[in-house]
Homo-oligomer: A and B are copies of this chain.
Amino acid sequence: MPSGELDVVGIGNALVDVLSHADDALIERQGLVKGTMHLVDEERARALYEAMGPGVEISGGSAANTVVGVASFGGRAHYVGKVRDDQLGDVFGHDLRATGVGYDTPRATGGPPTGRCLILVTPDAQRTMSTFLGASVRLGPADVDRALIERGKILYLEGYLFDPPEAQEAFRTAAAIAHAAGRKVALTLSDPFCVERHRAEFRALVENHVDILFANELEICALYQVPSVEAAVPLVRGHCDLAALTRSAKGSLLVQGETVHAVAAHPVSAVVDTTGAGDLYAAGVLYGLSQGLDLPTCGRLGSLAAAEVIAHVGARPMSPLTELADSILP
Find chain B residues with CB under 8 A from A21 CB: 318
Give complex CA distance A223, B96 in Å.
43
Does A49 sit at the interface, judged by CB under 8 A?
A: yes
Chain B residues near A68: list those with CB within 8 A: 54
Q: Which of B58, B86, B99 contacts A57 (CB 8 A)?
A: B58
29 A–B pairs (Cβ distance < 8 Å), ordered by A: A20-B98, A21-B318, A49-B94, A50-B94, A52-B94, A52-B98, A53-B98, A53-B99, A54-B59, A54-B68, A54-B94, A54-B95, A54-B96, A54-B99, A55-B91, A55-B94, A55-B95, A55-B98, A56-B57, A56-B58, A56-B314, A57-B57, A57-B58, A57-B91, A86-B86, A86-B87, A87-B88, A87-B113, A87-B114
Q: Which residue numbers of A lie inside 8 Å of B, CB to CB? A: 20-21, 49-50, 52-59, 68, 86-88, 91, 94-96, 98-99, 113-114, 314, 316, 318
Copy tally for this chain in the complex stands at 2
A55 to B95 alpha-carbon distance, docked (Å): 6
Shortest 4 CB-CB distances between A and B: which pairs? A57-B57, A54-B95, A87-B87, A54-B98
Closest to A21 in B: B318
Distance (whole angstroms) from the CB of A322 to the closest CB of chain B:
15
Residue contact A316 to B54, C-beta cutoff 8 Å: yes
Q: How far is the CA of A49 from the CA of B87 in the complex (A)?
A: 13
In the complex, which residues of chain B have a beta carbon less than 8 angstroms from the beta carbon of A86?
86-87
Q: How far is the CA of A94 from the CA of B18 in the complex (A)?
A: 12
Complex: A63 Cα to B57 Cα, angstroms: 21
Chain B residue nearest to A20 (CB atoms) is B98
- Give every chain B residue within 8 A of A87 (Cβ-Cβ): 86-88, 113-114
Closest to A16 in B: B57
Residues of B within 8 A of A50 (CB): 94
Closest CB of chain B to A89's CB: distance in Å? 9
Whether B54 lies near A56 (C-beta < 8 A) is no
Residues of B within 8 A of A88 (CB): 87
Q: Which residues of B contact A49 (CB under 8 A)?
A: 94
| Alpha-carbon distance between A205 and B317 when the two chains are bound, in angstroms | 47
